[in-house]
Structure 1
């Protein structure tokens, strides 16, 4: 048997110590980078770079983790941050924060923008709707990615594409939000769903043709449990509400309708492209688990009220929005809802952890066995890269 040299024997313990000290931040490395598309649920600063005076750029946004606003629609991190952390990558940099020449995007790029829709604005104008939100729809975000791609790899991008994780969504929620809050009826809005799902499917298909091999596609959250919806559609009819949660049942049924159509679309794409791993992230059930048993996850008894809000039964008032003149609760970590539309860092962390278990189909752990969710409990340090 060959004997180790004195020099190599001396360095082995030192190497082991170094590797152990890095274990919290580094995992085996299933993916070299993350590319994300979506809306405010995944936005890490794009909206703020395009709309300097958006309320998300003001305190108390970002107060819990970053201790200053970063353009995230939360008091701290969003799910994309936790996913990157668990994989062992830096937080994904917003595309609009870069120079678009590849500099700073070594570990991927985030194209998600607060307010973004799956469908282009022309669709909503054709329906006679007032369009006052961002024009950075899913198709625009895909074009950003294609513009950036040549600067990340030279002639052959197959390795980068196959070695990256693509996060496509959540997207589509704003297509429905804008319609609901402009007074459109649920029957009309249901006719939007096939088009929304088709837009998501087309984006996935184009990414696969570009070489993507692993992608996570989230469904819609239960909008009947969201404070802005609970306030807008408050009802005196007990039968409108779910008995165990207090969420509005018909709105949750709408979310489930979107998710059923999305699951059908993903099934078709899997059959068409067996070389790709398309993972469905069940945001709906991951969130409902919290709403059904909030105390089990460390939250208060009434998880439907916003932490940062302007009063009312759900602490949401459209005249007193977070980042402007709304008050903020003393303990965001015990609340599920942050500003009446988005969740707190604590809630996002619970949902992100649940994605390792029953809330991804197929499980993320199958495509990335070395993913380590215990790092979510570590003393993760924020860096300038984030």
Structure 2
């Protein structure tokens, strides 16, 4: 018993303390540069940081954009720190801001143009910042923000380069349906059930919102009634009720329905076709959120048809988070990235600004 107490007190407990402390340090890195707290205004006030590397300016700069969701998209999250440090090491200043959150906006009414407006305000702030080389500013989109980066570049033709990480230049519906199919298959539905029941019902609902917004049908007409009848049937179905856990459409709210329609019909591809700057797309081969194969095929065709300067990197075994071994979301930032991943992006960006010298 005394030996056990000795082991617990002097070996196991200190060892656990060391492991926990090391994990905290690994999972919460610091920005490796001079940090300036910043605030700027879109149609709301936004806060973030501008981190500058060692040495004298003016510095090339990169704006790091956020992923989806209204929480866990703050500028000081570990994801941003690892990516910022990779660019800081190559001499870039890095700007990051916290995404507008549920405290600032009702997400029932948000549209991608709101997020685009925030990014435009950030670019304007960065362009006017001291010690920043305004001719060498790049942007990095992450997942959701990669939808509107082509439009951001189109509206800011002086942006030097674009990196999109697990993002898509395809319209929103193509990506949503890919995600629905992946999730449904993972939950045990057959491919036939997904193709013949689940996807058609979701397509019908999405089309309903869009048609209302385009004034093609009435918000309270026959199509709404028929959709609700089918939703009720599916909700009460022994098998499909596991997926359709709602039995009717939301009550009609003109602003909510219009916002939903605008989100569903958002399409970055017309802007993607028009922009002519170097682009890097970093993709995951086993991505359940983004249809990687379709995206890569589209990028390759665009290189041929439109003469675009696009570099494509696919990690075949990676999931949406680009961790090794296909690991999904978890406390894996930094130490589970592929060995060449961060340097790949930072070196590519450095090459683009050096070519501009």
Normalising by structure 1, we get a TM-score of 0.37
Normalising by structure 2, we get a TM-score of 0.39
Which of 1 and 2 has higher RCO (CA within 8 Å, sep 6+)? Answer: 1
Higher share of residues assigned helix = 2
Which entry has the higher C-alpha Rg, 1 or 2?
Answer: 2
Higher share of residues assigned strand = 2
